């Protein structure tokens, strides 16, 4: 399938491209791109002072660059800004960043030539992905620069397991190295494509995780004999929230027809908060998700290049502004990281209630022979460690601050750092939920003789047992945990049987 870009991309579009979908541009979009390139050509001809076109960048913005040196300025920006360090970003992350960058150029206010976008599209189409180090950027510059290196035949790229120099990568996909023109070096490292792309991909992961969080919680609720009255539609409506209503409905549907739940009705006045407040914690995360999604879509609809060009070749306008700064994205990434850290901490608490014989009513640590077997004792340690790491990762990046470029850039919002941190929280949350899923299935093994499960939880249990057998201290539990996490990452929760 090929996505068609006319006006702007959505976060779902960027996530789909990240996962392998192709991208094409409409004729109207190519016309906008060409028009902006003509404006830049005119600015160069007239010698109008314009940031990054006829001047240096950052603290060198008052230094005029003569026409003969403008192409060298573009090339030099790419080399000097490619300062990334650390492990490489995953393939999907780089594809998401490139997609968001093409979306920014497509608004027609950057001034890069169509051939630049054509080459970026070719990288996506052939899945020839630049090597982009994950660390070293206070905003976006280093990540974008490493992508741009490949366009000029420098840097490195990968396709599958094969590694190519930038020049060889272009030859492999039938392209030639570009000679960047005026402003193109600056545009290629500029804008919020890095944080926007990473956040769009994080939204896709988070949407999937939120559905799994509701489903896995149902296994635990059923094993714990939860009091479902707390989740009645009318009761939850006393606190108006789209997220709370959505989660409450998901719990009721998946647990409908459970004989285990029916047998537990009235056993307790109320459940512990890690059970009773699932709609509130999961629902709060869903409400915040909607806000973040709207912000990312607004960012994708925005011009985030500095300077922006407009007007016409006959009457060119160049506008220096701060659209490349993205405090809104940083705040959104930080907020969603906090919500998912809270959600995963609740999952760990539910897991503890499954393995703790003081409250579970089940064999200690879900072991079939407690004493000679430890069961899920240490798996709960692992979940606690990951939940604690998420608490640390939930500290906001958006308030870090910092001063760069000789006092010229004396406010930093750190949206890319916030987005990368969000992905790390998602990694941990997936594993914590996977451990709860394993423990929930094990608890149901021990409850099998008491009463039948709900059809909705039976579907979950059957999925788990189709992949992973019951645990009896007969193999490394880490392997089961990795398999359960892969299941959560790669599959959607099974539908509730009608």
Dist CA 459 CA 436 (whole Å): 16
In 3D space, the residue among 438, 440, 451 whose CA is nearest the CA of residue 479 turns out to be 438
Instruction: Judge whether 289 and 253 are in contact, CB under 8 Å.
Output: no
In 3D space, the residue among 53, 71, 69, 51 whose CA is nearest the CA of residue 61 turns out to be 51
Dist CA 427 CA 289 (whole Å): 17
Helix H, strand E, coil C: the string for 357-414 is HHHHCCCHHHCCCECCECCCHHHHHHHHHHHHHHHHHCCCCCCCCCCECCCCECCCCC
Gyration radius of the chain's alpha carbons: 26
Q: Quote the tokens at residue 12.
A: 């779902």
Dist CA 188 CA 141 (whole Å): 9
36 CB-near residues (< 8 Å, 6+ apart):
108, 109, 110, 111, 112, 309
> Strands (DSSP E) along 26-111, which ranges?
85-88
Q: How many residues does the chain have?
A: 498
Instruction: Judge whether 278 and 210 are in contact, CB under 8 Å.
Output: no
Q: Using omega within 30 degrees of 0 as the cis cutoff, is the peptide bond preceding 307 cis?
A: yes
Instruction: Judge whether 185 and 75 are in contact, CB under 8 Å.
Output: yes
In 3D space, the residue among 166, 174, 495, 192 whose CA is nearest the CA of residue 330 turns out to be 192
Q: Quote the tokens at residue 335.
A: 């907020």
On the 0-12 / 13-18 / 19+ scale of CB atoms within 10 A, 230 is middle
51 as an active site residue: the answer is: yes
* Catalytic machinery residues: 51
């Amino acid at each position: 399938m090929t996505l068609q870009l006319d006006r702007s991309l959505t976060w779902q579009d960027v996530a789909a491209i990240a996962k392998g979908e192709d991208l094409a541009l409409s004729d109207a979009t190519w016309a906008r791109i060409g028009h902006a390139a003509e404006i830049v050509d005119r600015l160069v001809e007239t010698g109008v002072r314009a940031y990054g076109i006829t001047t240096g960048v950052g603290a060198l913005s008052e230094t005029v660059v003569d026409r003969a040196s403008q192409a060298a300025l573009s090339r030099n920006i790419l080399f000097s800004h490619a300062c990334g360090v650390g492990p490489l970003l995953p393939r999907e992350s780089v594809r998401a960043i490139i997609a968001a960058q093409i979306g920014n150029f497509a608004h027609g206010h950057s001034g890069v030539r169509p051939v630049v976008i054509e080459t970026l599209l070719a990288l996506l189409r052939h899945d020839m992905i630049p090597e982009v180090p994950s660390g070293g950027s206070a905003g976006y510059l280093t990540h974008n620069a490493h992508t741009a290196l490949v366009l000029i035949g420098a840097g490195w790229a990968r396709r599958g397991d094969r590694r190519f120099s930038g020049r060889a990568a272009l030859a492999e996909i039938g392209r030639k190295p570009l000679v960047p023109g005026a402003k193109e070096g600056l545009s290629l490292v500029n804008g919020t494509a890095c944080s926007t792309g990473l956040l769009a991909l994080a939204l896709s992961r988070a949407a999937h995780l939120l559905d799994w969080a509701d489903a896995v919680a149902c296994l635990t609720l059923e094993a714990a004999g939860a009091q479902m009255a707390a989740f009645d539609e009318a009761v939850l409506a006393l606190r108006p929230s789209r997220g709370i209503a959505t989660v409450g409905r998901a719990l009721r549907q998946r647990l409908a027809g459970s004989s285990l739940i029916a047998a537990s009705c009235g056993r307790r006045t109320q459940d512990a908060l890690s059970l009773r407040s699932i709609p509130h914690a999961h629902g709060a995360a869903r409400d915040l998700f909607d806000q973040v999604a709207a912000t990312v879509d607004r960012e994708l609809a925005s011009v985030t290049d500095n300077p922006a060009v407009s007007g016409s070749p006959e009457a060119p306008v160049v506008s220096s502004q701060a659209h490349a700064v993205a405090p809104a994205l940083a705040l959104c990434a930080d907020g969603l990281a906090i919500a998912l850290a809270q959600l995963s901490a609740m999952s760990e608490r539910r897991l503890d209630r499954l393995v703790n014989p003081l409250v579970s009513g089940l064999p200690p640590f879900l072991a079939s022979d407690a004493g000679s077997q430890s069961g899920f004792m240490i798996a709960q340690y692992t979940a606690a460690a990951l939940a604690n790491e998420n608490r640390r990762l939930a500290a906001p990046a958006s308030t870090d601050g910092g001063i760069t470029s000789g006092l010229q850039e004396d406010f930093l919002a750190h949206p890319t750092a916030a987005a990368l941190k969000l992905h790390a929280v998602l990694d941990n949350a997936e594993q914590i939920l996977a451990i709860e899923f394993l423990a929930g299935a094990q608890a149901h093994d021990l409850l099998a003789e008491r009463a039948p499960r709900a059809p909705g939880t039976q579907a979950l249990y059957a999925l788990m047992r189709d992949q992973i057998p019951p645990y009896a201290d007969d193999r490394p539990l880490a392997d089961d945990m990795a398999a359960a996490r892969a299941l959560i990452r790669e599959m959607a929760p099974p539908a509730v049987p009608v």
